[in-house]
A and B are shown apart, each in its own frame.
Chain A
Amino acid sequence: MASVHTKDRAVSRRLLLQGFSAMGAPITVGLPPLVAMFNSQGTAYAAAKATPPNRFVLWFNGNGVVERYWIPTETGRDFTLTPCLAPLANFRDDIHIITGLDNPAARLPGPGNDHHRSMSALMTGTSFTGRGAGGASADQVIAGKVAGDTRFRSLQIGVSQESFGESIQRNMSWAGHDRALPPEMLPHKLFDRLFGARDAGWVARKRSVLDAVQADAATLKQSLGKEDSLRVDEHLASVRDVERAIASLPPNYRKVEEPQFDGDMKDWPRIAKIQSDLLVHALASGQTKVASYMLTKCQGLTRFPWLGYTAARHHDYTHQDGKAPGGADGQRIMRDICRWHVEEFAYLVGKLKATPEGDGNLLDHTSIVFVHEHAEANDHKNNGLSVIVAGHAGGLATGRHTRHTGTIGDLYLAVANQAFGAQLKTFPSASRELMGLFG
């Protein structure tokens, strides 16, 4: 049987993929419990290590929210979950709802529309360059501090496949100025990157090829000017990343046949769950400590047949407020759309919580930050952002809703320093660590 080995136990590839190969079947996503990730004592995968490392996930979905359906009226512990937040009912003690954060870099003058500007500012605290983000995104800043010797410095995972968009709309992770890190949107490709099996000798062979490629790059560099040679350097860095991913394959990987992938690539709720499952596997098996998860794109144009909304697309609905042709139902439809986003977020939170690790579970050692490019979607508002932080890494103060006056940069700074010991002095647009998030 075709199989992939992680540690000592086999995980059937078919089993891993059946969740989306059987079209029309009920959504019981086919990932088995993480048996293969456990060690021989039956305790969790990472139990051998004294303290499991903390993991960071930056989670995004496009456009904004309808604040009246999203933001709880009360602050503190006794808040009532709003219609959009209802899917988190079982996880009240694993989350901290933050509202009121500013995204000031979105208001700096410069190229781009409101969505471009807000997206660059949200992820990196810097202005849109006209092509991409102006700096490194929060996940990459944290990865720079904690990635260490993991197989992947970070993972970028995406879901919604609609083709619309420029670089700033399709990418949430940025290695630096104008350097997009595109998300992997296809479950079978993500699976291949993480668990694809290789025959004996493949690793050594691949390394010798990549060594030759690097030597070629070094030769080419000598004949180039500064700007072009930086470009070759970037290529080289990527080649080294690929080499590292290959070199640190677990030694007992075996050959796996190509998956027979016949999934419905428009069934986003299902794909979202498969991608979340794969992300949980990647984090549990120590392949990476940092990931970004892009449910839908910036200024996204997703359609929602499973919610029964097919007349228009996500961004169209955000502006359907009854004041323009297209109907008045947009805001109510947005309520249901936002609830779906939170449902998928809750799914990931639940999966992490159900994955044992050390004396507890994976959620104990994870921090997930859920953001949107805008606060109120219809107005393209970029102050008063609604953010959810989930997971107990760093000792998150959970079970509450807090209104803040700080910036999104302040929040990243607090998460990076308190949950990851990043010792960052600052983050663009931040003035100080957000108070009261942890402890």
Chain B
Amino acid sequence: MRIALLALFPFVLSAADFARDVAPVLSRGGCAGCHNPNGVASGTRLKFPEEHAPTEAFGKSLYVLVNRQEPGKSLLLAKPTQRVAHAGGKRIEPGSVDEKVLREWVEYLATADLATLQVKAAASEAGPAKRALRRLTHAQYNNTMRDLLGDSSRLADSFPPEDFINGFRNQYPGQNASPMLTEAYSSAAEKLSRQAFRTGDSRNLIPCKSQDLLCRDRFLKEFGRRAFRRPLTALELTRYQKLFASEKNFYAGAQLALEAMLQSPSFLMRVEHGVAASLQGYEVASKLAYALWNSTPDEALLNAAAKGELASPAGVEKQARRLLASEKAHDAVKEFLVDWLRLDRLNGTIRERRQFPQFTPELTVAMAEESRRLAEALIWQRGNFMEFFSATYSYLNSDLAKLYGVTAPSDEYTKVELPGATERAGVLGHASFLTTTSKPAETSPTARGLFVREQFLCQEVPQPPPGVSTNLPPITKEKPVTTRERLGMHLSSPSCASCHTLIDPIGFGLEKFDAIGARREKLHVTVQPERNSKDEPANFDLELDTSGWLAGLVSTNGTSAPFNSPRELGKILAGSAQCQECVVKQAFRYLMGRHEAAADSAALERAAQEFRASGFQFPELLVSLVKWTTYPPPAPTPTAVTRN
């Protein structure tokens, strides 16, 4: 049979080179924009690798989308040409050369030996786990100086700012060392070491009084171990002895050594899963401390590393639980929350003053405080973290209570029940979320939808293609329309609709909440007259249609989850496996300083399982993640791909 087919399709089998011919067709179609592990189409069977260009093996894995009986009806061909319904719209023109190339590949897959394809496809899966050389974040630098030197001057606050990558400021790919940052490290080290030894040993860093060679070496070894989070090597010790000895005065020598240590890459950076096996325990200690404390390991943790107690998942778990019981863990979690919820964006937000006279910088502080307090209460009181989306109570001060139209609590930021009529629940009803996703004068259902997709469902939505006008149709006096109606353009234009059907309808369901998160029953629109015209501005109160839906969310009742308010959306999210897994992923990204890779899937699945089993206790998630990312569990047995 195969021989016969070879004879029939000699051209197809010899000429089809996936990487050379077919991958560019899929690239032009923009398929990978949605069909990737974090794309809006991640739930479908087409999933492009994120870490590298699609390979021959990936091309062969596409056999699952081929109809071997009727190749022409294969989903791989019918979806992108929109011969069958495709949420992403028409990506490849029917009858085009691109379609011809893809059709040849489909026909090849339909005829190739199935067992061979399955073997090849398996090869396209997981690669090796990534190691990372991570630099201390600015917050970690500050905390480390606090714990190492007793210095709380937070010098890193004035370092060049860090960038948000993958939604966090601590991500490995963004940590490059510009000369300016290196210079900042250098001046900070100079300042801190000067302060430490200006008047003798003012920070009690030297463990002995004798000021002799013995004492010098004891200081270098003991302090060096704390600074580098591992014992110094013999070579390093000699280097620092030499540096120390270049000054005649004992304290001046100590100052010089300290200044160098504080800008050494062995201090500023840390290796995770390095090659030197003997150091592994110390690397784990650093990882745990920076993940759960955002600071340097304490003596107990370094000792545990020295004794080999971190060499097992159980040992890691024991220390993780100890660290989480300390106040220092609250700092680390706070930073996670600020980044994940982009609470930084509230700082400096402005609003049209005539429209929002109650909007003040103090109010934005209260907004951030509310979201942080709800999350922290759930985390540290060991509640169900998914209530962050569905809680029908909140933590308000009197300004926020006024904004929400509820009775103010007797004490600022104490727990307040939110009546059903407010339709608020969880973070989706928080002014922080509703404000950071709005423009100065109006809401943006698009920004709200995007935020939900990206932050809460971990789905990356492709950006509009270059050169597309993103201006919406004007509002005129003759035809005043709501934001929803103006955005309707997105949904009626095929090129916009492919993405905006996934985004805007989420925001539509939140339209009863204005650009500062206050409730409104109608949309007030003012149409300004033409310049030089004597007309008065025209005012309208328009009815709001708040029917929204979450297209493509895997749910029990079909493909689109409908809702009308933050409370209903929160309930959907809290119960959605996608959202639960996204919390796991976001915590992973923050703890590991990078995006998850194929090799992390076993650790992530295990952590998600344990998170669920604990009733969604966030500290349990942290324990699971540090444990299973350090000692990955065996990969789950591959299951047949059946999800649609």
A residues neighboring B (CB under 8 Å): 106-109, 111-114, 117, 131-132, 153, 156, 162-164, 166-167, 170, 175, 178-182, 184, 193, 205-206, 208-210, 212-213, 215-217, 219-220, 223-225, 228, 231-232, 234-235, 238-239, 241-242, 245, 301, 303, 311-313, 316, 319, 321-329, 378-380, 382
Q: How far is the CB of A378 from chain B (nearest CB, A)?
A: 7
Question: B209 contacts which chain A residues (CB < 8 A)?
Answer: none
Tell me if B161 counts as interface (CB < 8 A to partner A): yes
Question: A321 contacts which chain B residues (CB < 8 A)?
Answer: 471
Q: How far is the CB of A288 from chain B (nearest CB, A)?
A: 12
Question: B528 contacts which chain A residues (CB < 8 A)?
Answer: 322, 327-328
The docked-state distance in angstroms from the alpha carbon of A11 to that of B176 is 36
Give the 9 A-B CB pairs with smallest separation, nearest first.
Answer: A323-B474, A238-B182, A167-B163, A182-B160, A228-B133, A241-B179, A216-B264, A212-B260, A235-B177
> Which listed residue, A216, A220, A235, touches B239 by the CB 8 Å rule?
A216
Question: A312 contacts which chain B residues (CB < 8 A)?
Answer: 350, 352, 440
23 A–B contacts from the bound complex (CB under 8 Å): A117-B466, A131-B173, A153-B179, A164-B348, A181-B178, A182-B178, A206-B186, A210-B263, A213-B263, A232-B133, A238-B178, A238-B182, A311-B440, A313-B440, A322-B474, A323-B472, A324-B472, A325-B525, A326-B441, A328-B530, A380-B467, A382-B466, A382-B467
Q: Is the CB of B246 within 8 A of A217?
A: no
List CB contacts (< 8 Å) of B322-351 with chain A: 344, 347-348, 350
Q: How far is the CB of A252 from chain B (nearest CB, A)?
A: 21
Question: B347 contacts which chain A residues (CB < 8 A)?
Answer: 163
The docked-state distance in angstroms from the alpha carbon of A208 to that of B264 is 13
Q: How far is the CB of A39 from chain B (nearest CB, A)?
A: 29
Question: B265 contacts which chain A residues (CB < 8 A)?
Answer: 213, 216-217, 220, 232, 235
Known: A180-B163, A219-B236. 4 other contacts (CB 8 A): A114-B464, A179-B176, A212-B264, A380-B467
Q: Is the CB of A245 within 8 A of B183?
A: yes
Interface of B is mostly: loop
Question: A212 contacts which chain B residues (CB < 8 A)?
Answer: 239-240, 243, 260, 264
Question: A319 contacts which chain B residues (CB < 8 A)?
Answer: 471
Contact digits for B466-479, partner A, Cβ 8 Å, 1 yes 0 no: 11011111110000
Tell me if B641 counts as interface (CB < 8 A to partner A): no
Q: How far is the CB of B634 from chain A (nearest CB, A)?
A: 24
* Segment at the A interface, from B106-114, B270-278, B493-501, B554-562: B270-278
> Which listed residue, A114, A170, A175, A242, touches B186 by the CB 8 Å rule?
A242
Q: How far is the CB of B228 from chain A (nearest CB, A)?
A: 9
Q: Is the CB of A242 within 8 A of B182?
A: yes
Question: A242 contacts which chain B residues (CB < 8 A)?
Answer: 179, 182-183, 186
Question: A182 contacts which chain B residues (CB < 8 A)?
Answer: 160-161, 178, 180-181
Residue of B nearest to A332 (CB): B531
Question: B153 contacts which chain A residues (CB < 8 A)?
Answer: none
Q: How far is the CB of B229 from chain A (nearest CB, A)?
A: 13
Q: How far is the CB of B192 from chain A (nearest CB, A)?
A: 13
Q: Is the CB of B161 within 8 A of A170?
A: yes
Tell me if B506 counts as interface (CB < 8 A to partner A): no
The docked-state distance in angstroms from the alpha carbon of A132 to that of B475 is 37
Q: Is the CB of A114 within 8 A of B466?
A: yes
Tell me if B633 counts as interface (CB < 8 A to partner A): no
Q: Is the CB of B133 within 8 A of A231?
A: yes
Contact digits for B143-183, partner A, Cβ 8 Å, 1 yes 0 no: 00000000000000000110111000000011011111111
Tell me if B256 counts as interface (CB < 8 A to partner A): yes
Tell me if B439 counts as interface (CB < 8 A to partner A): yes
Tell me if B545 counts as interface (CB < 8 A to partner A): no
Q: Is the CB of A223 within 8 A of B274?
A: yes
Q: Is the CB of B471 within 8 A of A323?
A: yes
Q: Is the CB of B271 within 8 A of A378?
A: no
The docked-state distance in angstroms from the alpha carbon of A326 to that of B355 is 10
